[in-house]
Amino acid sequence: MSVSAALLSAALVVLLAYGVIVYNGLVRLKHNVARAWSNIDVLLKQRHDELPKLVEVCRQYKQFEQDTLVRVTEARARVARAREAHDVPALGAAEAMLRGGLGQIFAVAEAYPELKANEHFMQLQSRITALENAIADRREWYNESVNVHNIRIEQFPDLLVARLFGYAAQPLLRFSAAEKADVDMKALFSA
């Protein structure tokens, strides 16, 4: 075997090894994004299961605002549809609507001392608040995983392997400007 053939063979082996390393790294990133989404999905499902209980407890108080309960129920359905379809942009919008409705339920509950004193309501409020905090943490982890994935598939020479195997950018979980704005406490408590 000539020196040039040996050098060419060695270069091909190094190139192949590099391609395998890049591919395995991309696979790991893809699965990190999927795992991050699954973590959000689990928490959304848990919250989805808790919300009807909260709505039912509130419904027992006949004077409780039915419009608020309808909005929460509708938002819950939108979140479920977006979650099942893995529609990240729709999930962001539905989440904004749901969190607004939950905030309004908790604010309106202030006007009902017997509801605020209801042990079941307090447990559900605490559980949903804990789920909201956990969802926020998982959203952050999801966006970080997506960001690392998207950067990696755009960097040279990794983008060559990414394009070869059909890797595409994943969507970040974004929120509307209205959702990022300060909460109007006066509007919440006047509802």
The domain locations on the chain are 3-190
> Is the overall model pTM greater than 0.85, yes or no?
no
Supply angle C-alpha 50, 127, 178, rounded to 5: 80
Q: Position 110: which residue type? A: E
pLDDT tens-digit profile of 9-19? 999 999 999 99
Distance separating alpha carbons of residues 103 and 101, to the nearest angstrom: 5
Q: Is 166 left (phi over 0), alpha (psi -120 to 50) or beta?
A: left
Q: First and final CA of the chain: distance in angstroms? A: 85
Task: Locate 116 and state its tokens.
Answer: 């605020």
CB 95 within 8 Å of CB 77: no
Q: What is the pLDDT of residue 186?
A: 53
In angstroms, rounded to a whole number, what is the distance separating the alpha carbons of residues 18 and 24? Answer: 10
Residue 20's pLDDT band (cuts 50, 70, 90):
very high
CB neighbour list of residue 18: distance below 8 Å, 6 or more residues apart = none
pLDDT digits (tens, 9 = 90+) for 123-137: 888 899 999 999 989
CATH hierarchy code of domain 3-190: 1.20.1440.20
Residue-level pLDDT at 175: 65
Supply φ then ψ for residue 25, to 5 degrees: -65, -40
Q: Is the Cα dihedral 68, 72, 75, 81 positive or negative?
A: negative
22-59 pLDDT per residue, tens: 999 999 999 999 999 999 989 989 998 988 888 888 87
| Best CA proximity match to 83, nearest among 38, 149, 53, 50 | 38
Query: Can you tell me the mean pLDDT for 84-107?
Result: 86
Percent over 90 (pLDDT), the chain: 40
Instruction: Note the residue count of the chain.
Output: 191
178 has pLDDT over 60:
no
Residue pLDDT, tens place only, 148-177: 999 999 999 899 999 999 999 998 887 655
| Rounded Cα–Cα distance for residues 179 and 91 (Å) | 13
Q: Which of 37-46, 56-65, 115-124, 141-150 has the lowest mean pLDDT?
A: 56-65
